[in-house]
Copies of this chain bind each other. A is one copy, B any other.
Amino acid sequence: MREPLPPDMFEELCPSGLVPIRFGDKWAGLVLACLRTGPRRYSELRVPLARVTPRVLTRSLRALERDGMITRTVEQSPPRVEYRLTPLGHSLMELYATVCDWTARHWDELLDAREAYDAEHAEATAR
């Protein structure tokens, strides 16, 4: 006996692109982690995130700013731009940490499953 699904549960549903905000962004989690202990300037973010090109980093920052996760404050003399977590961003960062924690705890399981699956399908195409 199968339990029925709510009939209209998925009528106006939010796909993953909407629901887990910023979790589709490749570098957003790392940006949040960089800002966890305090505000950082653009060039300070570029050091730990050296593998991210300026174009990509800027876009991630803008997206996080648009969603109210970080603030961007400009001041001249000296010219500097400072990024800082908002309370909302801090909350997201903590959620993100729980996700990373989950991943770390189940990482081996996942790798094993992936390896088994790939082995299974390699022989299927090899034969």
Q: Which residues of A contact B (CB under 8 A)?
A: 2-3, 5, 9-10, 13, 15-17, 19-21, 23-30, 33-34, 37-40, 44, 47-51, 65-68, 88, 91-92, 95-96, 98-100, 102-103, 106, 109-110, 112-114, 116-118
Q: Check A66–B118 contact: CB distance below 8 A.
A: yes
CB-defined contacts of A27 to chain B, threshold 8 Å = 15-16
8 CB-based A-B contacts, threshold 8 Å: A3-B38, A5-B47, A15-B27, A19-B29, A66-B113, A66-B114, A92-B102, A95-B102
Min CB gap A75→B, angstroms: 16
Indicate how many identical chains form the complex.
Answer: 2
CB-defined contacts of A116 to chain B, threshold 8 Å = 68
How many Å lie between the Cα of A117 and that of B65 in the bound state? 8
